[in-house]
Structure 1
Amino acid sequence: MDKKTFLDILSKYNKGKASKQEVDLLEAYYELFEVEENILDQMDLSEKQLLKQQMLARVLEKNIEIVTTKTKTWYDRSWLSAAAVLLILCSVGLLLFKKDRNEIAVVKKSETPTAVIKPGKNQAILTLSDGSTIGLNEEEKGIVLSKNGLLVTKSGDGELKYETNEELIPTTNTITTPRGGQYQLVLTDGTKVWLNAQSSIKFPTRFAGDTRVVHITGEVYFEVAKNKKMPFLVHTHNQKIEVLGTHFNVNTYIDEAAEKTTLIEGSVKVAKVRDGFAEMKSAKLLRPGQEALLTSESSLIKVGTADTEAAISWKNGYFKFDKADIQTVMRQISRWYDVDVKYVGNKSSDLFVGKIKRTEEIQGILRILERSKINTSVKGRTIIITN
């Protein structure tokens, strides 16, 4: 698409004459945060300023309608379309929903990076059954381990793959990611696993018997290889999850309010674990698009509709927030950027809505908070938030 075509679509949209296909195009740009062939780079400064003013006026017009009309929600798709190009101009942005002042703001990415805190990367520790460890990082690739019929290799994109023969006597391995780390691996049955920051998975080097069993902490996404004769079992501190072949995400961070299992594809059965035993009588069967919430205090598993995009956004390289408070936002930031967070004064009641890439450096996050009247400062690897 060239610059003239792009501007013609915007003009038609602002006049309310854009076709459904043209509106869909703007919404697609909102999702991608980028423009084909660097269209915006072809504009001079005056053109960009005019475009920003036009879109801002359109956004504010929609904003007033949304927050003052009770029959409409603040997360209306038509509003997102209006915001699309403004977000593109910002390169990386996050929408702020101010529940106390009914404001929506779009924050521009810093043009002069000043922070030294970098986003996370592919890094983990592999612990073998004898207690020895192997450091895994972004640079190394090739054979990681070859011993007694077990071959562990690492691809150029950082994925660890386990291969073995049937004569191998199974032993237990553990992969652990630190704060500021993530990792991918393929188990010997072909199951693909993604580990978020500050997470772990304990697994056998070869699955034997009539089940495939792994234990996890933190947050892990699975694409389980199908094997009807050998169910796949995931154990957490409070859950036992049984699957045959499916895609699902498990968030079991101890600093979150509840353990959450989100089903993307297939089916899973979630049971509460009490005193080391799974209570199968009260287990819940999830359908795609559902999530199970479980707390250590409650004996009940709550099942509801999931925001599947938000649940696996970390795996796909971005954060997604939907009316999240500052503590929820900063827990994710803390784990991914390997920082501590300290709150001074009353905690903000603002709710955050939107997306931001996980490759963004920390100053992009801090500028968003500062524009919402939340004062931030950095001392070492601690972010201090003052409201």
Structure 2
Amino acid sequence: MDKKEFLKLVTKYNQGTATEEEKSFLNTYDQLFEELENPLDELKAEDKDRLKQNMLNDIKLKMLAEPVPYKESNNWKWIAAAMFIIACSAALFFTMSTTQKQTAEIQEHHTKDTLITPGSNQAVLTLANGKQITLNDKANGLLTEEAGVIISKNEDGLLKYEIAANAEATTHTMSTPRGGQYQLILADGSKVWLNADSKIIFPSRFDGDERKVEIFGEAYFEVAKNKDKPFKVVSNNQIIEVLGTHFNINNYADELAAKTTLLEGSVKISPLVNGTINNTAAKILKPGEQAILNNGESKVKVAQTDLEAAIAWKNGYFRFNKIDMQSMMRQVARWYDVDIEYEGAISKDLFVGNLRRSDDIKEVLHILQLGKINATIKGKTIIISN
């Protein structure tokens, strides 16, 4: 969509003649009001104000019908995206593109055996003796008892550890497949949310003067406070040290960088170079900041970030905030357990929007379709052509 088409859409919206789909599109554009070369810059001030007010009125009407799924946000810009999720259960999008196609399609070629479904709560717990417990089909209650360690699922479905005073510390591993996620309460009371295709290695009890776990993939932590025993997370090429805090780690092997996002408290990010901590390059994060450590580098970059985007997966959503196609589709591939193939040049469009992770894969692909990009489903493979 170029500027001319967009301005026509704005006019229809202000005149009350826009379709529901057109209204939905504009109700997501609030996230891009401050973009450079914004098409809205060509509107008169009164038209721009009227557009924003009309959007707000629509949002308020939706709020009367359904609750807002996000806990934190007094800013109506973020509520706009949330309201559209509830009201439409469809893709939100805006693309900034240099090239356009006239048509875009979503084609399906699969059987019942290869239907693509959203992910669910599923994981495998591996005990120190090699015994594996499949968690997705286990009822709440006691799962196993090993050397004074009682492992159970509580009423909320979280894996919980209860440790006897004389219990031996052993190493356990919990891993999620593609299309899976799970939650865990460690022996110290710290809570961990594990995203799809991820793994955490942790002790059944924390002995010594520190609490240390290892993460592969993505996890969100709510660390129990203990000023005498710092909590440390080792993830690929960095180590994160905290006393008590809420933060998210994204450290997938196929991403270009490890990203640590702080929501509450304080954390220290130290690069690991050949297994050795580089204290001189360490950074301390404040709430609202994200540390980025590019693969193969030892310099930690810190910047303000979109907190909701960082933990949307934990809250049951995808949140795309000016994200490129490949980054977006990597998230989709992990959650829906699909492979992604590209034919032709890869689009340089940026995408904005929110989707429920429980939505059908076609809702996600609708983002591409509206961006004039074709998507074909063949079995468990998504083929994207631009």
- Deviation string 1:287-317 (CA, Å, 9 cap, x unpaired) is 1011110023222110111211100000000
- Deviation string 1:123-160 (CA, Å, 9 cap, x unpaired) is 00101112221111055321111122111111343210
Higher RCO, 1 or 2 (CA under 8 Å, sep at least 6)? 2
Q: Give 1:11-26 correspondences, 5 Å limit.
A: none
Q: Give 1:79-90 correspondences, 5 Å limit.
A: 81=56, 84=59, 87=84, 89-90=87-88
Q: In 2, are the aligned partners of 1:122 and 1:158 still within 8 Å (CA)?
A: no
Q: Is 2:71 the partner of 1:99?
A: no
Residues 354, 229 of structure 1: alpha-carbon distance in 2 compared, 3 angstrom cutoff:
same
Given residue 153 of structure 1, which amino acid in structure 2 is its aligned partner? S
Q: In 2, are the aligned partners of 1:318 and 1:355 still within 8 Å (CA)?
A: yes
C-alpha displacement at 1:165, in angstroms? 1.6
Q: In 2, are the aligned partners of 1:59 and 1:82 still within 8 Å (CA)?
A: no
Given residue 94 of structure 2, which amino acid in structure 1 is its aligned partner? L
Please give the alpha-carbon distance, in whole angstroms, between the structure 1 residues aligned to 2:159 and 2:360. Answer: 27
Q: In 1, are the aligned partners of 2:291 and 2:303 still within 8 Å (CA)?
A: yes
Paired residue secondary structure (1:69): helix
Q: 1:108 is matched with which residue?
A: none
- Give the stretch that moved more between structures: 57-66 or 210-219: 57-66
C-alpha displacement at 1:231, in angstroms? 0.3
Q: 1:164 is matched with which residue?
A: 163
Paired residue secondary structure (1:129): coil
Q: 2:338 is matched with which residue?
A: 339
Root-mean-square deviation (CA), in Å?
3.3
- Deviation string 1:87-106 (CA, Å, 9 cap, x unpaired) is 3653333122233379xxxx
How does the TM-score come out when normalised to structure 2? 0.78
Where in structure 2 are there 5+ consecutive unaligned residues? 1-12, 63-82, 101-111
Q: 1:231 is matched with which residue?
A: 230
Please give the alpha-carbon distance, in whole angstroms, between the structure 2 residues aligned to 1:170 and 1:61. Answer: 52
Q: 1:52 is matched with which residue?
A: 20
Q: Is 2:116 the partner of 1:117?
A: yes
Q: Is 2:242 the partner of 1:274?
A: no
Residues 134, 57 of structure 1: alpha-carbon distance in 2 compared, 3 angstrom cutoff:
closer
Where in structure 1 are there 5+ consecutive unaligned residues? 1-13, 17-47, 103-113
Q: In 2, are the aligned partners of 1:211 and 1:231 still within 8 Å (CA)?
A: yes
Q: Give 1:177-216 correspondences, 5 Å limit.
A: 177-216=176-215
Please give the alpha-carbon distance, in whole angstroms, between the structure 2 residues aligned to 1:230 and 1:267. Answer: 15
Given residue 120 of structure 1, which amino acid in structure 2 is its aligned partner? G
Q: In 1, are the aligned partners of 2:122 and 2:177 still within 8 Å (CA)?
A: yes
Identity %, equivalent residues: 47
Q: 1:67 is matched with which residue?
A: 39
C-alpha displacement at 1:50, in angstroms? 8.1
Residues 335, 128 of structure 1: alpha-carbon distance in 2 compared, 3 angstrom cutoff:
same
Please give the alpha-carbon distance, in whole angstroms, between the structure 2 residues aligned to 1:198 and 1:370. Answer: 27
Please give the alpha-carbon distance, in whole angstroms, between the structure 2 residues aligned to 1:150 and 1:77. Answer: 57
Please give the alpha-carbon distance, in whole angstroms, between the structure 2 residues aligned to 1:320 and 1:329. Answer: 9
How many residue pairs end up in the alignment? 331
Paired residue secondary structure (1:320): strand
Residues 147, 94 of structure 1: alpha-carbon distance in 2 compared, 3 angstrom cutoff:
same
Q: 1:145 is matched with which residue?
A: 144
Please give the alpha-carbon distance, in whole angstroms, between the structure 1 residues aligned to 2:29 and 2:322. Answer: 21
Q: 1:380 is matched with which residue?
A: 379
How does the TM-score come out when normalised to structure 1? 0.77
Q: 2:6 is matched with which residue?
A: none
C-alpha displacement at 1:60, in angstroms? 11
